[in-house]
Each structure stands twice: as structure tokens, then as C-alpha cells.
Copies of this chain bind each other. A is one copy, B any other.
Amino acid sequence: MADTYVLVHGAWHTGELFEPVAAYIRAMGHDVWCPTLAGNRTGDDRATVGLTQAAQSLVDYLEEKNLTGVRLVGHSYGGMAISRAAALVPGRIRRLVYQNAFVPLNGECLNDMVPPHYKALFDGLAAASANAVMLPYPIWREAFINDADAALAESSFARLNPQPYRTFTEAVSLPTELAALQIGKSYVNAEQDTAMPHSMPWHPRLSERLGLFRLVSCTGSHEICFTNPRLLAEKIVEAGRD
């Protein structure tokens, strides 16, 4: 039976970068959509777009395409957007799948969940660049895509785009905390993901905020969408199926 998957990218990414993963999920017989959130599109005003607008663009997408029974997958920052979408259009969502993603409490922003040294770094970068931050390459290469060779680390980095900093600093409004939300939830954890340091990890620190959830793990870095899209596709389906 064909299920409907919507893959929501992380910071600095676009929906297009999820297409190799989407192709594998489609080959398993499912429908897959890869929107790009407001703020990461060509021509977006990166000085002003915040989380509210980015999440609304996801909701608009679900409504325009009239998607229902959605397995809504968020990677990293995408976890902020899918959490807000679940508050706005719960009736369209069959299951939330967080892939090494942020799981906010009501009133939190992304920066509330990152280590202090990242926040200090991003504050400085934003001040120097009209509120649009780019991830420094050494952090990308060592901590985000540690399972790539140098060529892939460089070619994937070249495809990223600056992130509107207000998407990291604007709080999310969740009238019902995620742990209490009556929607199925899963967490996909790539086990060598050190984008969050392992002393302050994605799982279980953030995953357990979901209340009852299904854990699916695999080998890989934060950027397994580049380094092993086939494995990620399999794990997303293990996480997203009923």
C-alpha cells in the first residue's frame, strides 16, 4: 500500500537535497514530497524570515497539495517545522518522524537546545552577515559529515545556502506539548551524528520529549542524506510505517 511521505530538510539545506532519499522511498512504492521551507528558497529575505513563517510555508504546502495521512519527516531544524505543523494541521498527519531533529517544548527556540559554543558562534556570524548564518566548513567536515570522504564533504557543502537566523531564535508555539499529542511519533537516530555533541545528544536527550515513540537507529552522520541515502530511506520507512 502506498503511504505518503513529506521530507522536511534541515538548516542550510533545500528540499532538492532530499531527492536521492525520496527516490529510494518511491522505489519502495510510496509517494514522496520534498518541499523547501520559506527562508531557504532562492530570493528569500534571509534577514527577516523566522520560524513561524517557515513552518507556515510547510502547512501551506500540505494544504495546497491537499496531502492527508502524511508521514511527516523532519531532519534537524526540520523538527521545529514539523512540530509546529502538527499543532496547526494535526488531521493531515499520520505520524511524525524526527531524523536527528530538534524536538521543542512549547515556547522554545532551536538555540535553546544547542550547546553554548554553537550559540556564541552563530550569534557572531549573524551579527556579521545581516542575520544570515553559514556553517563554517571545518565544523561541517568534522562534526556534520564525518562519514564522507573529502570530495563529498566539499561538493555537498557547496550546495548549502545561508540560514535566516530568526529561524533559530524565534520560539515555537505548541498549544499541546508533543509528548501529549495523540499522533504516532518516531525518532531516527544516525549513531555517529556529532552535530550535537554526544555529551548533549539528539537521543535520548531530545527524542524522549516525544513521550511514547518508536526508535529506529542506523550507522551514519548527521548528513546521511548525502552519505547513505539508501540506508536513510530504509530507516525512514521503518520509522514511518504503522
Residue numbers of A with Cβ under 8 A of B are 138-139, 141-143, 146-147, 149-150, 184, 191-192, 194, 197-199, 203-205, 207-208, 212-217, 219, 238, 241-242
Shortest Cβ distance from A138 into B: residue: B212
With contacts A147-B216, A147-B238, A197-B204 known, what are 19 further pairs, Cβ within 8 A?
A138-B212, A139-B212, A141-B214, A142-B214, A143-B212, A143-B213, A143-B214, A150-B241, A192-B215, A192-B217, A194-B215, A197-B208, A198-B203, A198-B204, A198-B207, A198-B215, A199-B204, A199-B205, A199-B208
In the complex, which of the residues B142, B150, B205 contacts A212, with contact meaning CB atoms closer than 8 Å? B142
Cα distance A229–B214 in the bound complex, in angstroms: 21
Measured in the bound complex, the distance between the Cα atoms of B217 and A194 in whole Å is 11
Q: Which residues from chain B contact A242 at a C-beta distance below 8 Å?
A: 150
The closest CB in chain B to the CB of A213 belongs to: B142
Main SS of the interface on chain A?
loop
Q: A213 contacts which chain B residues (CB < 8 A)?
A: 142-143
User: What is the count of identical protomers in the complex?
Assistant: 3
**Distance A55 CA – B207 CA, assembled complex (angstroms):** 36
Which chain B residue shows the least CB distance to A153?
B242
With A197-B208, A216-B192 as known contacts, state yes or no: A241 contacts B142, CB within 8 Å. no
26 A–B pairs (Cβ distance < 8 Å), ordered by A:
A138-B212, A139-B212, A141-B214, A142-B184, A142-B212, A142-B213, A143-B212, A143-B213, A143-B214, A146-B215, A146-B216, A147-B216, A150-B241, A192-B215, A192-B216, A192-B217, A194-B215, A197-B204, A197-B208, A198-B203, A198-B204, A198-B207, A198-B208, A198-B215, A199-B204, A199-B208
